[in-house]
Amino acid sequence: MHREGKPKGFFWLDHRTVDGKHGIITDTHVTPGNVHDSQPSSPD
């Protein structure tokens, strides 16, 4: 993946579900950096 002004390489994004009352992370999901945030994901 190559974007102007960004370093070359492999990238990923981490998505977290947080308990709003206590600020505790309850779930994490990692996606490849080339998948846009608007794309639905379904962890299997």
Q: What angle (nearest 5°) sits at the alpha carbon of residue 11, between those of residues 3 and 32?
A: 105
2-39 confidence digits (pLDDT tens): 668 877 878 888 889 999 999 999 999 888 887 777 77
Distance CA 28, CA 15 (A): 6
Domain assignment present for 16: yes
pLDDT of residue 40: 65
pLDDT of residue 38: 78
Domain assignment present for 19: yes
pLDDT of residue 42: 61
When divided into structural domains, the chain yields a total of 1
Tell me the residue range of the domain where 18 lies: 11-36
**DSSP letter assigned to residue 35:** S
Domain assignment present for 3: no
Domain assignment present for 29: yes
Six token digits for residue 29:
């999901």
Residue 41 near residue 35, CB atoms below 8 Å = yes
Six token digits for residue 16:
């977290």
Domain assignment present for 24: yes
Whole-structure pTM value: 0.50
